[in-house]
Structure 1
Amino acid sequence: MTTADGRELHYMVAGSGEPTVVFESGMGFSRSAWGLVQPLVAQRFRSVVYDRANLGRSGDDPEPRTLERITADLGALLTALDSGPYILVGHSYGGTIALATTAADPSRIAGIVLVDHSDENLDSYFRPASIGTRILGFIHRATLDAMGRVGLLAHLVRRMMPRMPRDVVDDMTSEDLTWRAGRAANEEERRFVDGMARLRDNPPMFDGIPVTVISGARAEFLNEETRSELNAAHQVTAHRLGARHVLARKSGHQVVLTEPRLIADEVFRIADA
């Protein structure tokens, strides 16, 4: 689809049936992050994955990637699809985008599934990152890019994600684990705290829209304290929205990879209700 200012957003559709389920990926990840979840949902419903601007096969956006800008793009995609009502499923920062998009126009949203989402009630988001953390992030992205150039990355990803379809792994390694994707993540991260602060000051409230909040149970890349604080923030959000709160007991942050069936079942639960 083409946005009002001429940018192209790439999306892919699988399955049929209402409601349409639209997936929003986390920071720095394209549609490929949903490679295990979308096929499950597509068995019953029309399901859509897409690439945000600067990611995957979508065009670049010269404007700052604020939460409002990203939300407007998703809203434009929903309008172009013209197949509502929609269930929005967002992982990590994608959950934040799903919430903001629903707040902008709740009339076409039939439900929301937040998958270990970035929650505005987590205080640590508002503490400045150390120089050491920023340097480690730069080294991490440079290492991934170098491994991709010599062909090691695809092999490692396939071993880590044996159930992921091969074509999705190929797309993930050639599009997501690259320097371009890293720049896109950095651009979104620079505006992340401002967007979260606005949500914290004006928390979304929805009347009659069912919501499921899924929290990872394991710390993994987070320390135990941060994991506990994030899940407590999820409980606050679930209470505010009258949401169902589900614990993904086998998962850390990457529930989309470790428990795809759990996510699909929550989509089905909302659709059946």
Structure 2
Amino acid sequence: MFSIGLEVFNSEGMSNTVGKSTSKEVITKEEWEKKLNSVKIRKEDMNKLVMNFLVTEGYVEAAERFCLESGTEPEIDLATITDRMAVRRAVQSGNVQDAIEKVNDLNPEILDTNPQLFFHLQQQRLIELIRSGKLQEALEFAQEELAPRGEENLYLQHAFLEELERTVALLAFEDASNCPLSELLDISQRLKTASEVNAAILTSQSREKDPKLPSLLKMLIWAQNQLDEKACYPHISDISSATLEETNI
């Protein structure tokens, strides 16, 4: 699945255009599009790639609709995604304790065997207390719940304490939203924690924790970087639109 769309970059496909000279060959947009069009990709494979993304990321309704429209069956029962998404939504909305309880309902071993994940969830609880202005409660929570976590796990102790210090430092600012560490209060921090929980649940269910599509796009960028050493050709700079740019000489 990872090789889909990259066939156009293989050495055989480029041998007549790139050549073996030390100088870079120039490939026009018309020539490059002809190469791209010669690569045959099955629609079924592309549909599976889309379904894999929807299922892994938890877009249940979109997956159901895509199943009906494309006839692509998901690899798992879509009903099993609901509980995982409930956990993710709880973290994203700042209800971290609710998320922890939901994770334990799903599988208590997820947090028992993953101290880093549990620490990050507790860290997110601390951030939410600071966000809501409960500073005294936040300080007590950091001392009673988070600090001991760093002492319990010697392997992760340094990382835990460093993250704890950064988070507690928010208490030193009258307006935490405008301090140098304000990114911890940004919605992106919630999304980061939610993604970490989502990946842990998938791993516990013996599922891939990351969708294939982002990895495929990374391989596309890598392939373009490799070709840059050999030829001037139309790049895809905007991944979202997949628009070919004119060849830069």
TM bracket, shorter-chain basis:
under 0.3
Q: Which has the larger radius of gyration?
A: 2
Bigger fraction of residues in helix: 2
Bigger fraction of residues in strand: 1
Compute the TM-score of the two structures, normalised by the length of structure 2. Answer: 0.23
Compute the TM-score of the two structures, normalised by the length of structure 1. Answer: 0.22
Larger RCO, structures 1/2 (Cα 8 Å, 6+ apart): 2
